[in-house]
Amino acid sequence: MKDFRDASFVAKATDGTLVRRPLSPHLGIYRWPITMLASILNRATGIALAIGSLLLVWWLAAAAAGPIAYATVQEFLISPLGLLLLLGWTAALFYHLYAGIRHLLWDIGIGFAKPSLGPVTWVVLAATALSTVLVWVTAYAKLGG
Amino acid sequence: MAAKITPPKITPPKISVMRSQLGRVRGAGAARSGVEHWQVERLTALALIPLTLWFLISVISMLGADQPVISQWIAHPLNAALLIALVVLTFHHAQLGMQVVYEDYIHGGRRTASIIATKGAAMLLALIGVLSVLKLYLAAH
C-alpha cells in the first residue's frame, strides 16, 4: 500500500480471499456535459491569467523605469506575438470574470439548480465572445486601423 | 411482592470525534484553515470585478499613449490607490487559486514545493508592481 487510504479499499470476497474494491469509472467514460467544460475552462483561464499577470507587472515596472523601457513593452505588445497574447488574455479575463460571477451567485444560492446550469453556461460563453470582440473592435477603431 | 429489579443503566459510548480512527492516527483531515482560504478567494474575486473592469476601460481609453501620459495617469492619487489594490488582490487571488490546482493534481513534496514557490513569486511580483506605482506617485507629489 502506497497510500494509507488504500486500506479502505480492502474487502473480502465470498470465498474469503482479500480483494481490492473497484473504483467508479473516471472522466474518460462520460460524455462532456457543458458544465464540465465550463468548470475546466474556469480553471484553465485562471492559470492563464495568473501567468498573464506578469504582463501587468512588466507594464507597471516599465512605466516607472522610463520612456525607453516603456517603448520596449509597447513594441512587444503590438508585435504579432504580443497581440496574440493580449487577445488570449482578454478572452481569458472575460471568461474568468463571467464564470466567477456565476460562481459568486451560486455561493449565495442563486441559479444553483440543475435546469439553469446549462443555459447560464451558454450565457457566460456568449458574453465572453461578445465582450472580447467589443474590446478589440474598440481598440482597432481607436488606433485608426 | 417481588423486589423490584432495576435494570443496569447502560450509557452509550460517547462519540465526540466524528472521524475515522485510521484517519486520526495518520493525521489526515482538515487543516482547520479551509474556510478562510475559500472565503478570501471569494472576497478577492468580488473586489476584483470592479477593479478589473476599471483597469480595462482605463487602458483602452489610453491606447497608444506614450510613457509621460501613462505615468501621469498612474501617479494620480486615485489611480495609484486603485492600481495598488488591483495588483495586491490579483496576486493574492491568483496564488490562492493556484494552490487549489496544485492540491488537486500534484502529490507529495513536489506539491509543497510548488505552493511555496508560487506564493513567493506572487509576493515578489506584487511588490514590484506596488513599488512601480509608488515610485511614480511619489515622484509626482
Q: In this structure, what DSSP letter does residue A4 have?
A: G
Give residue A3's pLDDT.
Answer: 73
Please count the CA atoms within 13 angstroms of the CA of B74 that sit on its side-chain side: 31
> Which residue shows C-alpha cell 493580449?
A86
Which residues in chain B are contacts of A57 at CB distance < 8 A?
Answer: 87, 125, 128-129, 132
* Nearest C-alpha in A relative to B55: A56
A98 and A127 Cβ atoms separated by less than 8 Å: yes
Q: What is the mean pLDDT of residues A86-103?
A: 97
Domains of chain A and any CATH numbers: 31-143 (1.20.1300.10)
Give residue B130's pLDDT.
Answer: 98
Give residue A91's pLDDT.
Answer: 97
Taking the CA of residue B12 and the nearest CA in chain A, the distance in Å comes to: 26
Q: What is the mean pLDDT of residues A99-124?
A: 91
Percent of chain B at pLDDT > 70 equals 94
Q: Do B67 and A46 touch (CB under 8 A)?
A: no
Q: Do B133 and A60 touch (CB under 8 A)?
A: yes
Output A86 or A118, whichever has higher pLDDT: A86
Predicted ipTM?
0.83
Q: Is the pLDDT of residue A10 over 70?
A: yes
* Nearest C-alpha in B relative to A104: B42
Give residue A21's pLDDT.
Answer: 85
Give residue A145's pLDDT.
Answer: 58
CA B34 to chain centre: 11
Give residue B1's pLDDT.
Answer: 59
Three cell numbers, residue B120? 513567493
Q: Is the pLDDT of residue A130 over 80?
A: yes
Q: Do A143 and B64 touch (CB under 8 A)?
A: yes
Q: What is the mean pLDDT of residues A36-62?
A: 96
User: Cβ of A70 under 8 Å from any chain B Cβ?
Assistant: yes
Quick one: pLDDT band at residue A65, thresholds 50, 70, 90?
very high
DSSP state string for A79-136? SHHHHHHHHHHHHHHHHHHHHHHHHHHHHTTSS-SHHHHHHHHHHHHHHHHHHHHHHH
Q: Do A46 and B97 touch (CB under 8 A)?
A: yes
Q: Is the pLDDT of residue B9 over 70?
A: yes
Rounded Cα distance, B10 and A54, in Å: 66
Measured over the CA atoms of residue A94, residue A99, residue A103 and residue A105, the dihedral's sign is positive
Give residue A140's pLDDT.
Answer: 92
Which residues in chain B are contacts of A67 at CB distance < 8 A?
Answer: 66-68
Question: Which of the residue ranges A43-57, B9-23, B29-43, B60-74 would you say has the lowest mean pLDDT?
Answer: B9-23
User: What's the pLDDT tens digit per position in B65-98?
Assistant: 999 999 999 999 999 999 999 999 999 999 999 9
76-135 of A, contacting B, C-beta below 8 A? 93, 97, 100-101, 103-104, 107, 135
Q: Is the pLDDT of residue B17 over 60?
A: yes
Q: Do A47 and B101 touch (CB under 8 A)?
A: yes
* Nearest C-alpha in A relative to B107: A3
User: What's the pLDDT tens digit per position in B120-133?
Assistant: 999 999 999 999 99
Q: Is the pLDDT of residue A1 over 60?
A: no
Give residue A4's pLDDT.
Answer: 74
pTM (2 decimals)? Answer: 0.82
Domains of chain B and any CATH numbers: 33-139 (1.20.1300.10)
Q: What is the mean pLDDT of residues B24-32?
A: 72
